[in-house]
Chains A and B, each alone.
Chain A
Amino acid sequence: MNKLLKNRKFQIISVVIILLVIVLFSADRYSKVNIIRNIATAPVTFVQKGLNTVGDWFDGIVSGIRGYAVVIEENTKLRNENLELKEKNAALKDMKSENIRLKDALNLKDIFENYKIMGANIVGSDPGSFLYNYRIDVGSLDGIEIDDPVLAANNVLVGRIYSIGVTSSVVVPLIDELNGISAWITQEGGGHAVVKGDIEYKADGLCLMDTVNENVKLEIGDIVETSGMGGIYPKGILIGEVIEIYKGKSLIERHAVIRPFIDFNALEEVYILMEKDSGEE
């Protein structure tokens, strides 16, 4: 038995099988094998880092594979949009509105006094998931819990913790189609609404808003932040701005398209808000 385990061939074949199993399971994010995923993600993160490096090295070889060129093109496009968004963010910073609190990381601690704030690096996309899930380098060992809010340094909402491994976790972005956020329209005549991810809008980095309270005078350019009433996100995290308004299924339902402030492509570091006493539960 010991001999078998020490056999290099066996070791490598085992690694391949394990890899395959993980890839297959995690391909369906709705599969019931979250436990397996959690156990498995620790080594995967490690392997994935390696793979990315090797992947770079292999750029020349794989570029012929159909579609990859499109990815690069797409990336360029996104980078351009990125710049646009950065400009928008800069413009936002200039806005004198009291409600807009673009603050740097140091100030996150002041805004969210009741939370422990943990910084984390994005180490890759969640393998086998849709486009925008991110893997970060903190996990249950760091006290991270499922549904912990994830922010960028400037108090802009990224998403929430979707799943946790021992030393890494997966962040699901706010534009994911299963996500909902109890939102607050901060403009004068503002009020409650619900921001929801939508699979079609997600592809463009956008999301939707509905269940707008009747007192709200909904307008393009309205700034939307978290309401703090939904049980997951504390109040006052910036979500995005209203870029389009349309009628819903009945005469009284108003819907809007939201462009999140977060720049998913420029994202390198995120901050996780952890309940202060969460470690003792």
Chain B
Amino acid sequence: MKKLGFLSNRYLLLGFVILLASSLMIIRLYDMQIIKGDEYFKQSTKKITHKFAIKAPRGLILDRNGLPIAYNRESNNIYLTKVYSSDEQLNESLLQLSLIFEENGEKHLHSFDKYVLGDPVIFNSNHTIEEIIEWQMNEELLNISEGKVKNSAKELVLLLRSEKHFNVDKKYSDEDAYRIICMRYEILKNRWNYIMGGRIPIASDVSVQTIALISEHRHSIQGVIIQKKMVREYGDVMDLGQVLGYVGVIPIDRLNELVQMGYSSNDFIGRSGIEEYAEDYLRGTDGYFEYEADQRTGRLLEQIGGYDEIPGNDVTLTIDMGLQKIAMEALKDTIAEIAGKYDGEINYGDASAGAVVVMDVKTGEVLAMASYPSYDPKWFIHDDEESQEKRLDAIFDDYGKPMFNRALQGAYTPGSTFKPIVAIAALESEEHDYDAESEILCDGHYEYDGWDYYCHEYVSTGWFTHGEITISKAIETSCNLVFHKLGLTIGIDEIDKWAEKFGFGQTTGIDLYGEISGKRSNREYKYTMFNEKWWSADTGQTSIGQLYNSFTPLQLAVYTSALANGGEKLTPYIIKEVISPSGETIYKGGKSFEKMTWSDETYAIVQEGMNNVTLDGTASRVFEDDYPISVAGKTGTAETGHEAEESSNALFICYAPVENPQIAIVTVIENGVWGSYTAPVAKKILNAYFGID
């Protein structure tokens, strides 16, 4: 081809000019996009305001050594937020999201099916047709005019697919259309929040797999936000179940009150145990974030308001988790051992529940508080099938009552563990001159006011009597006859005066909810309950810890501590301190007590008697001769009144070391047969506490 010919061809020249024009256009396009792209981008971006609350993590709960018992775990939550998109894009995004949820077994908000079920499409039968019609006409929701209300679910779904409602394209199958409608309904329910740029929660605590799928399809699933939130998690806490408690949704009857206090309706609050008691300490202050976002992508452009969340305060307990575990295991093992000794006469093999309290006798700190059977707080915060099942089992187990904290909600007849009170009352009585040398005769049988009293050993052997014994020896041998005599001599009012001083019949004031006050066996109680006069026989029974006496293991621990520390009735406590996120101490638990006085001689007599219980008395078979620390203890066997069909309740109280008491331990085993059977629980705890092999 000749060069000149090429240029002289007019058509070619025209084509050339067009080509040149096109090139310039494309270059111009480059100019717009590369060089001034940023400017153009900023100008072209349509802004939308987004805002959301940032949930503050709950404070930790730690044991006395700083071991985290309740902490927080990260959860990924899915929210819907408005971005600029057509119904077509929105519906497709929601369908994909819904399918990902289904594929990964994620529970997502799905309230449409409270009215319309999807497979097959029918009205949910938990609503009457009137309710369903009313629901369709609800102006805040579907807002269907009266004339267009549907009597069939299929027709309703068809209506909702229409342009007037969710505009679900005809290309979608019935199943997919239902999925889309369900998601659109959640938005509709929250539409003011949605329109204002808020976040609509749609699924919580989703798996990493779900996050992965949603994120990687971000280009086609629009308006979805993944937001992290800290949620409660518990460590190995089954042994501390009732004390720790758990968190859960706000009960409906408290919703109004709590929303006014700044809670939102889907917040979790402490529902029991420390979680409930320390709610105000543990709860954090939610943060808030408001920003301008790109309408199309939801991308943050500029923060325009908000403040940081403030985590809750950390609560340190007086509980030693190591000791707690040992206490619970010892209790559980001992219960199993007792039940295994079934004989059908006095042991019906029915031991199955009990409680242990370990308390610092100098301060009132509760070092361990176990109630068996227990529950795992994790059952209440996890939503898997096994947890759900165990949770329901725990709630409805009327026999084992695992939800029940026996240490402060169970009341037990004290039996012989009451005898030191009678001894103190007698020794301290101004009218009578009992002292260390006083000897009281046990000759097997005693008659008073026309009632017969017996020594239990005389009854069981037919010949044995304790003879003339001191009060200390009477505690050691637990001779019923001597205590009947002491009680009948000093009278019920003297006994009850001391029972009251030790805190029985009143709550101890521990920092936990649900504590009961128990009962003291006295004139007032009998008169109030039965409108009956008090007889000397009632005093006789009360003197050996029977009749109406009924105490909680925690009260018994306060009592045992007072026996140990010489008369300080301590207020037991379980919150050691509360530390704010900035490290400030905002609460410190401390010793508080009421002092009762008795003579050093009285203290020595009772202590000697109780010390001998573990050396030569009812618990001496548990504590061998060379046991390295001296223990003051008292066993108790309490008739339940159904001795023909169930074993007696069994108790053991003790403190140690005798020379310088540090801890008090109370063990109660329901249907535990003999008080001495429960002493091994205390021994295991002492071994652990004092480092005895």
Contacts and interface: CB of A to CB of B under 8 A. Distances in A.
Interface of A: 8-9, 12, 15-16, 19, 23, 27, 30, 51, 54-55, 58, 62, 65-68, 70-71, 74, 127-128, 130-131, 172, 176-182, 192, 194, 196, 198-199, 203, 211, 213-214, 227, 229-233, 249-253
B11 A12 contact: yes
Interface stretch (B205-213, B342-350, B403-411, B485-493): B205-213
A230 B14 contact: no
Interface stretch (B15-23, B597-605, B652-660): B15-23
A179 B219 contact: yes
Contacts of A211: 76, 211, 215, 226, 228
Nearest to A252: B228
B595 interface: no
Contacts of A70: 35
B27 A127 contact: no
A58 B228 CA distance: 54
A12 B14 CA distance: 8
Interface residues of B, number: 54
B308 interface: yes
Given A54-B23, A131-B33, A213-B208, A230 B216 contact: yes
B393 interface: no
B23 A55 contact: yes
Given A65-B27, A180-B215, A230-B215, 8 more contacts: A27-B29, A30-B296, A51-B22, A70-B35, A131-B37, A182-B212, A211-B228, A230-B216
Interface string B299-314: 1100000001101000
9 contacts: A9-B14, A51-B23, A65-B28, A177-B297, A194-B215, A250-B54, A250-B308, A252-B57, A252-B229
A229 B299 CA distance: 24
A196 to B, nearest CB: 7
A180 B216 contact: yes
Contacts, number: 143
B26 interface: yes
A253 B217 contact: no
Interface of B: 11, 14-15, 18-20, 22-31, 33-38, 41, 54-55, 57, 73-74, 76, 208-209, 211-219, 226-230, 287, 289, 296-297, 299-300, 308-309, 311
A249 B289 contact: yes
Contacts of A131: 33-34, 37
Which A-B residue pairs are the 9 nearest by beta carbons?
A230-B216, A180-B218, A182-B212, A229-B212, A214-B74, A250-B54, A180-B215, A194-B215, A178-B219
Given A12-B14, A54-B23, A250-B309, A182 B215 contact: yes
A252 B34 contact: no
B54 A249 contact: yes
B216 A182 contact: yes
A252 B58 CA distance: 13
B186 to A, nearest CB: 22
B25 A23 contact: yes
Contacts of A176: 219
A271 to B, nearest CB: 19
A9 B214 CA distance: 52
A67 B15 CA distance: 26
Contact of A23 (B29, B34, B214, B219): B29
Nearest to A254: B228
Contact of B219 (A180, A199, A229): A180
Given A67-B35, A71-B34, A251 B309 contact: yes
B27 A68 contact: yes
B37 A130 contact: yes
Contacts of B11: 8-9, 12
B23 A58 contact: yes
A232 B216 CA distance: 7
Contacts of A232: 216-217
A214 to B, nearest CB: 4
Contacts of B297: 177-178, 199
A130 B54 contact: no
A133 B308 CA distance: 39
